[in-house]
């Protein structure tokens, strides 16, 4: 009886203020480097990017192009030539900016193109096959970067990528498993066998001569090879044979766009993140601004109160996302109002620690002056002090599963990021409205959140992740883990994550690493905890500048991600 009482006393003491004190683990440091670093989803891509800087004397922008293209070879799951992405940068001189190389709807796209005659959403059509594909932006994006900030010749940057594709690379266990899982789907969608049609095993060498030839033509002929040349001809011919609607005019009209990033403060941090057509920067600003009002460091990491604050801030941000955000060339977005601290304070007014705010009681707000799970992220810092955060995607794993044997790459299914029918969720469960409806030449809303952070006017962190709608909340938690909970970059990236996106009204929680007492406490307050549907939330890759000036890489243990530096 005495023992029982003692146990009860200990449990009650540790649950004070809904706090459960976890055992203290020794901090784990990631890879440390003095000068430069690349963190990406695959070691080969990280090394190619690093060598461009270390061996060839290139800068972070040259390294970005090499890493992005290497990921198209070594990580076809999300790395791409047939997709698009976003990049946020800070130069050695403190200049900041953002590049949008997001896909666009083809000219023949139309608002109701995924609805049947009764107005029902045929969800497969926006996800699989040629109609799901947006006009790819990656090649235009890399040439835009090269033109403005590159220092090496494009053929020099492409040489190791071509070698990687033609000499091949060794498959990891994860990669072999994925290829084997998907290859029958590729055959079904494309009606033919491909280089993926095999029984792959870990350490098998995977060679892609078709993509090597595509890269050789790009090295020779430049940007126009992809948008007007032989590659464009092969691309349009292939997609047309599969009832696709992308024409040569769509390719000719594609341009990457330099954009003003979303910039906001969180305490002493200046956070620079992606602007629309990604929702990333705005939602990140909304969540962090709302969280800033609460002493979440005192509440503790992944404790009831800190999780409540983050969940409720996220719920409100995602409700606004569905109403206000879309391609800025098609809709007026009240960016300043949406991220104004006054507006966000007001949005949190009906939040109480006593119980969850049901999402049915949360709609989008009324900002003053009312007037977008598979992707991949890499972070790069060079020895000059240039920093890059870039997130690139085919949308779903291997995108639309459409693969051209002649070109050697997959095509995106980014059209599913549009709101095909108001109120009907896309593959990430995201609900959208008019602002993100389909229109010819429009960019679909994204959640990609490549982010650079300054502290005391200096570069402090480059961070981002894949994960569809969970991208924003994964980036947000990683920032808080370092800033509020003093974690190392590696620990911050590894730490267990959770996610709420307004609808569905549930808290996705990774199965490992959360305290049962905390989750039960949240359930008792009305939060629906779902630990079944998200075995992994995000794969964050990040670089932190430490107080002693060295760089620490955070390469997510959830994937094959690797940090390399010198």
- Does position 392 interact with ligand GLY (CB under 6 A)? The reply is no
CB of 109 to ligand GLY, least distance (A): 17
Distance of CA 408 to the CA centre of its chain: 24
CB of 256 to ligand GLY, least distance (A): 15
- Does position 417 interact with ligand GLY (CB under 6 A)? The reply is yes
CB of 536 to ligand GLY, least distance (A): 16
Angle between helices 154-167 and 60-74 (to 10 degrees): 20
Part in contact with ligand GLY (CB under 6 A); list of ranges 118-126, 446-454, 497-505, 552-560: 446-454
- Does position 375 interact with ligand GLY (CB under 6 A)? The reply is yes
Closer to ligand GLY by Cβ: residue 399 or 408:
399
Distance of CA 51 to the CA centre of its chain: 25
- Does position 372 interact with ligand GLY (CB under 6 A)? The reply is yes
- Does position 449 interact with ligand GLY (CB under 6 A)? The reply is no
Contacts of 243 (CB under 8 A, 6+ apart): 129, 130, 131
CA distance linking residue 272 with residue 464, whole number of Å: 12
- Does position 393 interact with ligand GLY (CB under 6 A)? The reply is yes
CB of 374 to ligand GLY, least distance (A): 8
Task: Please report where in the chains the tokens 């480059």 appear, as a residue.
Answer: 462
- Do residues 316 and 324 touch, judged by C-beta distance below 8 A? no
Angle between helices 471-483 and 280-291 (to 10 degrees): 40
Consecutive H or E run containing 523: helix 516-524
Exposure of 305 in the CB half-sphere (CA atoms within 13 A): 15
Part in contact with ligand GLY (CB under 6 A); list of ranges 32-40, 54-62, 335-343, 443-451: 443-451
CB of 284 to ligand GLY, least distance (A): 13
- Does position 447 interact with ligand GLY (CB under 6 A)? The reply is yes
Catalytic residue of the set 128, 373, 375, 391: 375
- Does position 322 interact with ligand GLY (CB under 6 A)? The reply is no
- Does position 510 interact with ligand GLY (CB under 6 A)? The reply is no
CA distance linking residue 464 with residue 65, whole number of Å: 17
- Does position 103 interact with ligand GLY (CB under 6 A)? The reply is no
CB of 392 to ligand GLY, least distance (A): 10
DSSP 378-420: EEEE-TTS-EEEEEEEEESTTTTS-EETTTTEEB--GGGGS-S
Q: Which of 138, 395, 477, 494 binds ligand GLY (CB under 6 A)?
A: 395
- Do residues 314 and 291 touch, judged by C-beta distance below 8 A? no
Residue nearest to ligand GLY (CB): 446
Consecutive H or E run containing 530: strand 529-530
- Does position 83 interact with ligand GLY (CB under 6 A)? The reply is no
User: Has 488 been annotated as catalytic?
Assistant: no
Part in contact with ligand GLY (CB under 6 A); list of ranges 8-16, 71-79, 145-153, 441-449: 441-449
Tokens at 211, concatenated: 């993509």
Q: Which residues bind ligand GLY (CB under 6 A)?
A: 372, 375, 393, 395, 414, 417, 446-448, 468
State the catalytic residues.
Answer: 375
């Amino acid at each position: 009886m005495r023992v029982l009482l003692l146990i009860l006393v200990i449990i009650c003491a540790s649950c004070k203020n809904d706090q459960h004190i976890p055992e203290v683990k020794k901090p784990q440091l990631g890879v440390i480097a003095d000068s430069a670093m690349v963190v990406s989803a695959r070691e080969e891509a990280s090394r190619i990017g690093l060598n461009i800087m270390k061996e060839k004397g290139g800068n972070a922008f040259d390294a970005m192009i090499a890493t992005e293209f290497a990921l198209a070879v070594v990580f076809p799951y999300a790395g791409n030539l047939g997709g698009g992405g976003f990049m946020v940068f800070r130069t050695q001189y403190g200049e900041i900016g953002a590049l949008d190389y997001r896909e666009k709807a083809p000219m023949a796209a139309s608002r109701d193109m995924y609805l049947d005659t009764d107005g029902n959403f045929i969800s497969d059509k926006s996800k699989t096959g040629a109609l799901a594909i947006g006009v790819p932006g990656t090649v235009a994006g890399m040439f835009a970067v090269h033109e403005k900030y590159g220092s090496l010749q494009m053929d020099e940057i492409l040489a190791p990528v071509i070698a990687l594709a033609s000499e091949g690379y060794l498959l990891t266990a994860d990669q072999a498993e994925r290829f084997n899982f998907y290859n029958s789907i590729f055959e079904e969608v494309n009606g033919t066998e491909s280089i993926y049609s095999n029984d792959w095993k870990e350490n098998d060498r995977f060679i892609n001569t078709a993509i090597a030839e595509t890269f050789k033509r790009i090295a020779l002929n430049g940007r126009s090879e992809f948008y007007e040349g032989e590659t464009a001809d092969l691309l349009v011919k292939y997609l047309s044979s599969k009832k696709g609607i992308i024409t040569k005019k769509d390719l000719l009209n594609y341009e990457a766009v330099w954009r003003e990033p979303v910039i906001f403060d969180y305490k002493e941090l200046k956070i620079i993140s992606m602007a629309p057509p990604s929702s990333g920067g705005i939602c990140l600003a909304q969540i962090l601004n709302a969280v800033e009002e609460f002493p979440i460091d005192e509440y503790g990491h992944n404790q009831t109160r800190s999780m409540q604050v983050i969940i409720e801030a996220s719920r409100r941000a995602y409700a606004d996302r569905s109403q206000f955000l879309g391609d800025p060339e098609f809709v007026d977005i009240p960016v300043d109002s949406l991220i104004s601290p006054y507006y966000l304070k007001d949005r949190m007014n009906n939040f109480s620690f006593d119980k969850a705010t049901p999402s049915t009681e949360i709609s989008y707000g009324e900002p003053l002056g009312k007037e977008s799970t598979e992707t991949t992220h890499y972070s790069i810092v060079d020895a000059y002090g240039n920093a890059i955060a870039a997130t690139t995607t085919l949308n779903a794993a291997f995108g639309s599963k459409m693969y051209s044997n002649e070109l050697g790459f997959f095509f995106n299914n980014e059209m599913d990021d549009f709101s095909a029918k108001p109120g009907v969720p896309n593959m990430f469960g995201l609900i959208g409205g008019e602002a993100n409806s389909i229109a010819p030449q429009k960019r679909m809303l994204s959640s990609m959140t490549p982010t650079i952070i300054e502290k005391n006017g200096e570069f402090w962190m480059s961070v981002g992740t894949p994960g569809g709608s969970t991208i924003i909340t994964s980036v947000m938690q990683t920032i808080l883990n370092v800033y509020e909970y003093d974690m190392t970059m590696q620990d911050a990236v590894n730490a267990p994550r959770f996610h709420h996106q307004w609808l569905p009204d549930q808290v996705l929680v990774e199965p490992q690493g959360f305290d049962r007492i905390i989750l039960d406490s949240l359930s008792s307050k009305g939060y629906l905890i779902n630990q079944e549907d998200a075995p992994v939330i995000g794969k964050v890759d990040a670089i932190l500048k430490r107080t002693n000036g060295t760089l620490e890489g955070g390469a997510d243990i959830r994937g094959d991600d690797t940090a390399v530096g010198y």
